[in-house]
Amino acid sequence: MSFHKRLTRALAASAAVVLGVLPAQGLAAPPPPLQVRAAALIDASTGQSLYGVNAGAEVAIASATKLMTALVVLQHAGLDQVLRAPAYQLAAVDSQIGLQSGEPMTVRDLLIAMMLPSADDAAYDLAYNVGGRSVSQFVAMMNTEAAQLGLSHTHYSTPVGLDTPGNHSTADDLVALARYVLRTEPFVRQVVAMPTAHIRVGGEPRTVSNLNGLVGRVPWVNGVKTGHTLDAGYVLVGSGRRDGLTLISAVLGASSESARESDTLALLNWGFANFRLVAPVSSGQLVASRPVRGRHGLRTALVASGSFSRVFPRSTRLTIVVHAPRMLSGPLRKGAIAGTLTVMAGSVPVARIPLRLRRAVPAPPSSLNPTTIAGPFTLVLLVVLLGVAVVKGRRERLTARRAASQQQE
């Protein structure tokens, strides 16, 4: 039987139910030792931080810069738009596809060249043209977007990622940016998961390879972006999906390509081994049903008014507690709150979700309505008592008169 069926049956059976969701599975293993300047690991679905090493330190990020370059380009240009390369003086150490001044390429192919082999000339081409023939204008757009996304420790001075003053970010900001880009830009999500791709450079076909050596080699790794400069060291923003859980990592300042890949793999493997995504309640899910007072055989469903999902260590024991009346008394409108579902992690409440009525609850029949019954009955009783008092008073006055007459005689 599925978890949701067991949950629904158990919760519907009682007014207050405690249901174990995750059995204790022992303590989580310690995180792997990483020889990096900074690192971070988050859950992609919720954005929860699972681990960090100097995750808030502002450091050089090399070509991880191009994540923001790609985002701003996609916000302002179409994939089929053709751009002509500006004159760009490349350093010998730059990664490039050898664009010549005036050479045409689509935005699609330029983005692929920028994200997989990390071509600096492709990044400069995109920034120059999308920035209105101004790279500095494009960099201003990058910083505006960073501020809007709340990346408070990120600043750009180049769309390429070369070592320039003022171009920095943090491991925390990088994983947050990668999460946003992967969620909002399906083209980037598709590209960064490819080991190789075919593009056209100046009309000529070319095959380019992903510098992220984990993509294609490790089946569950699906991104995201590499980087390397003297100041930044070796950088890799990684992503992987296993067992319904997607994790995003960042390692900054590794000593080599192989080190950044092994550290990324170790961090992701640790995350998958020690955490799991739990989603015990979804909006509109039937949680319980209750009988209606005075309406024999009628029951009304109580449904969750919201969803809850969160990543927990596998060692965490979760319970669900439902509080709702054993019987409902109407009238109650459809959607009225009639109970509460609480998710507990150990002894700590981590979510409280109101339970609402799936349909309206009618009032009891008039024959069972205490107000209706008490009104006429009370009135009749008062009239009878008043009548008795009147008769009794007359008799007492008559008796008194007779006694007075007898005394006079």
The answer to whether residue 262 is domain-embedded is: no
**More confident: 14 or 189:** 189
The domain of 350 spans: 3-23+280-357
Q: What is the mean pLDDT of the chain?
A: 86
Over 60: is that where the pLDDT of 106 sits?
yes
pLDDT at residue 372, rounded to an integer: 32
pLDDT at residue 26, rounded to an integer: 42
The answer to whether residue 306 is domain-embedded is: yes
The answer to whether residue 100 is domain-embedded is: yes
The answer to whether residue 221 is domain-embedded is: yes
Window from 34-43, 88-97, 368-377 with minimum mean pLDDT:
368-377
H/E element, 214: none
Residues 49 and 194 in one domain: yes
Q: Hey, what's the torsion of the CAs at 309, 312, 317, 322, to 10 degrees?
A: -20
The answer to whether residue 261 is domain-embedded is: no
Give the active site residues. Answer: 63, 66, 118
Q: How far apart are CA 289 and CA 305, in angstroms?
A: 15
Residues 221 and 74 in one domain: yes
Residue 322: give its domain's CATH number.
Answer: 2.60.410.10
CA atoms within 13 A on the CB side of 241: 11
> Do the beta carbons of residue 271 and residue 49 sit within 8 Å?
no
User: What is the pLDDT averaged over residues 201-216?
Assistant: 95
Residues 210 and 79 in one domain: yes
The answer to whether residue 364 is domain-embedded is: no
Q: What is the reported pTM?
A: 0.79
pLDDT at residue 15, rounded to an integer: 35
Residues 17 and 64 in one domain: no
pLDDT at residue 23, rounded to an integer: 38
Q: What is the pLDDT of residues 124-153, one digit of tens each?
A: 999 999 999 999 999 999 999 999 999 999
Over 70: is that where the pLDDT of 120 sits?
yes
Residues 324 and 210 in one domain: no
Domain count, the chain: 2
Confidence of residue 395 (pLDDT cuts 50, 70, 90): low
Sign of CA dihedral 148, 182, 310, 317: negative
User: What is the pLDDT averaged over residues 379-391?
Assistant: 38
**More confident: 202 or 287:** 287
Residues 144 and 212 in one domain: yes
Q: Hey, what's the torsion of the CAs at 347, 353, 357, 363, to 10 degrees?
A: 60
Q: What is the pLDDT of residues 297-353, one digit of tens each?
A: 899 999 999 999 999 998 888 999 999 999 999 999 999 999 999 999 999 999 999
The answer to whether residue 363 is domain-embedded is: no
Over 80: is that where the pLDDT of 404 sits?
no
Q: What is the pLDDT of residues 7-31, one digit of tens each?
A: 444 443 333 333 333 333 444 688 9
Which of 319, 342, 357 is the last residue before a domain boundary? 357
Q: What is the pLDDT of residues 54-63, one digit of tens each?
A: 999 999 999 9
User: What is the pLDDT averaged over residues 211-230?
Assistant: 97
The answer to whether residue 260 is domain-embedded is: no
Over 70: is that where the pLDDT of 387 sits?
no
Q: C-alpha angle with apex 261: 165 to 167, nearest 5 degrees?
A: 10
**Is the bond preceding residue 224 a cis peptide, omega within 30 degrees?**
yes
Q: In what order do the strands lie in the sheet with 295-304?
A: 16-22, 318-323, 337-345, 348-357, 295-304, 286-292
Residues 132 and 218 in one domain: yes
Residues 64 and 177 in one domain: yes
Which of 310, 329, 357 is the last residue before a domain boundary? 357
